[in-house]
């Protein structure tokens, strides 16, 4: 049994190793509880789906655990339940994920099962058709939700031909056309040892982790074909306003701004990412956030109001949104816009800045409490290509952010927004310009 790795690195309590077949292994030794959590990241996801196959990653994740060359869907479920363990899959925009957790004594067995699912899925036809129907139902259901309709429209406006323009679920047309062969081709292309990051956290030391992963996956050889690469796609669209008329009880107003990806190698862009995360916390995170206090509590305009800034491989979205009564749509749009414009012209006070820092850093720390959260966080950083040291860098940059830096970043990115409107025709149509 091989106990060595090609290279290794230790950061705080995270050990990073590259195994001989290219698997990147991260280990966080945490003996507090008799649990081991693992996240197996595959560098895939809907960003890799061709436009005509939108929804492919999602469908692969839905069917992956429904059968292998050795086991049926029922046998897989029974084995997981007999161990009192968990095994699940997910496909996001920028990665594909297999999650597992068990007590330490049972972890080798659940890892063996996960390896079988990872390497030899059969994608049974009956299971594929069932998951296809469920996906189509989910797509139709989302078309009845004003927030989702507004966000779908915003993505199309901001990303154009880029894969980020499409929902991870795909469209009714593309999902209906996906075949079992498409799923097998996806698996053959992306599921390979040199495209994997395995992140473990729990009662296991690095030496034992290397031995176990080599025992289970060490014979998996790298195929002769090169790894799939992502083409660099520029996002070149023009900010505009668009509306979709729906007979809804409220209007949804969304403002979107193109913002930097986290993986950009420029140090200034990495700093901008951290500052925008801080701005997002100040604007839209919780009942004390600027948007909630000003637009809901003081002005009574919002049923809901918030902001989010996604972490992405490619240019991301900084989004602020409000749900409001249809008759208040125009004033809600003006109010939302003015609160963001304020960031460019009025520096945050020392008290506002420190409160936002405390909230962001506190929530960040709380997001790394459990073994599953630790495995997820560091595996995600490794998969993004920013490395496990980003954990320290991000916290340092947030702590060192000044009011001037906040204003500079706001002036750089939060300028002219894309505006997506959904609501009754009389409330939204007059606010759109459809350029």
Going from the first residue of the chain to its last (435 residues), give the mean pLDDT of each consecutive group of 10, the final group possibly shorter.
45 86 96 94 94 96 96 97 97 96 97 98 97 97 94 94 92 97 97 97 96 97 89 76 93 96 64 95 94 94 95 93 96 96 96 97 95 96 92 94 96 96 94 71
Domain presence at residue 287: yes
Q: What is the pLDDT of residue 161?
A: 85
248 and 390 in a common domain: yes
Domain termination site, one of 217, 250, 278: 217
Domain presence at residue 28: yes
Coil, strand or helix: which one is 251? strand
Domain presence at residue 140: yes
Coil, strand or helix: which one is 273? helix
97 and 203 in a common domain: yes
Domain presence at residue 228: no
108 and 257 in a common domain: no
Q: How many domains does the chain have?
A: 2
Q: What is the pLDDT of residue 1?
A: 32
DSSP string, 402-429: -HHHHHHHHHHHSSSPEEEEEE-HHHHG
252 and 183 in a common domain: no
Domain that residue 303 falls in: 241-431
Give the whole-angstrom CA distance, residue 45 versus residue 163. 10
179 and 72 in a common domain: yes
321 and 210 in a common domain: no
Domain termination site, one of 217, 250, 276: 217
If you average pLDDT over every residue of the chain, what do you get? 93
Domain with residue 364: its CATH number is 3.30.830.10
Helices (H), ranges, 191-319: 206-217, 267-284, 290-291
64 and 135 in a common domain: yes
Domain presence at residue 2: no
Domain termination site, one of 185, 217, 249: 217
Q: Which residues contact 124 (CB under 8 A, 6 or more apart)?
A: 63, 66, 67, 72, 73
Q: What is the pLDDT of residue 229?
A: 81
104 and 187 in a common domain: yes
How far is it between the farthest Cα atoms of the chain? Answer: 71
Domain presence at residue 185: yes
Domain presence at residue 253: yes
275 and 170 in a common domain: no
149 and 63 in a common domain: yes
| Tens-place pLDDT, residues 226-274 | 988 876 667 777 899 999 999 999 999 999 999 998 875 445 557 899 9
166 and 40 in a common domain: yes
98: phi then psi, degrees, rounded to nearest 5: -115, 125
Domain presence at residue 160: yes
320 and 186 in a common domain: no
């Amino acid at each position: 049994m091989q106990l060595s790795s090609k290279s290794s690195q230790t950061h705080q309590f995270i050990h990073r190793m590259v195994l001989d077949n290219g698997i990147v292994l991260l280990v966080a030794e945490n003996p507090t509880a008799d649990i081991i959590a693992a996240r197996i990241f595959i560098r895939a996801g809907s960003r890799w789906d061709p436009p005509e196959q939108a929804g492919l990653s999602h469908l692969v994740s839905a069917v992956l655990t429904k059968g292998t060359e050795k086991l049926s869907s029922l046998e897989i479920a029974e084995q997981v339940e007999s161990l009192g363990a968990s095994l699940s899959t997910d496909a996001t925009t920028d990665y594909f994920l297999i999650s597992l957790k068990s007590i330490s004594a049972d972890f080798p067995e659940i890892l063996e099962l996960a390896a079988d699912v990872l390497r030899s899925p059969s994608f049974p036809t009956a299971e594929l058709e069932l998951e296809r129907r469920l996906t189509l139902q989910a797509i139709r259901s989302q078309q009845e939700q004003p927030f989702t309709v507004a966000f779908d429209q915003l993505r199309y406006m901001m990303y154009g031909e880029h894969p980020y323009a499409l929902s991870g679920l795909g469209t009714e047309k593309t999902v209906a056309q996906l075949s079992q062969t498409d799923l097998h081709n996806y698996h053959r292309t992306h599921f390979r040892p040199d495209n994997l990051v395995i992140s473990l956290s729990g009662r296991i030391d690095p030496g034992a982790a290397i031995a176990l992963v080599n025992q289970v996956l060490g014979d998996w050889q790298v195929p002769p074909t090169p790894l799939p690469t992502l083409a660099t796609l520029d996002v070149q669209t023009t900010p505009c306003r668009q509306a979709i008329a729906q007979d809804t009880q409220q209007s949804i107003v969304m403002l979107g701004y193109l913002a930097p990806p986290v993986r950009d190698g420029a140090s200034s862009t990495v700093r901008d990412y951290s500052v925008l995360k801080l701005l997002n916390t100040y604007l839209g995170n919780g009942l004390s956030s600027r948007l909630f206090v000003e637009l809901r509590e003081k002005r009574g305009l919002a049923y809901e109001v918030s902001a989010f800034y996604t972490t992405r491989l490619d240019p991301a979205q900084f989004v602020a949104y409000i749900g409001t009564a249809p008759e208040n749509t125009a004033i809600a749009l003006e109010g939302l816009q003015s609160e963001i414009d304020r960031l460019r012209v009025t520096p945050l006070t020392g008290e506002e800045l420190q409160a936002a820092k405390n909230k962001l850093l506190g929530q960040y720390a709380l997001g790394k409490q459990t073994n599953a959260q630790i495995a997820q966080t560091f595996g995600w950083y490794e998969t993004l290509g920013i490395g496990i040291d980003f954990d320290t860098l991000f916290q340092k940059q947030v702590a060192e952010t000044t009011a001037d830096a906040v204003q500079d970043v706001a002036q750089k990115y939060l300028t002219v927004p894309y505006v997506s409107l959904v609501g009754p025709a009389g409330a939204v149509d007059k606010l759109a310009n459809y350029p």
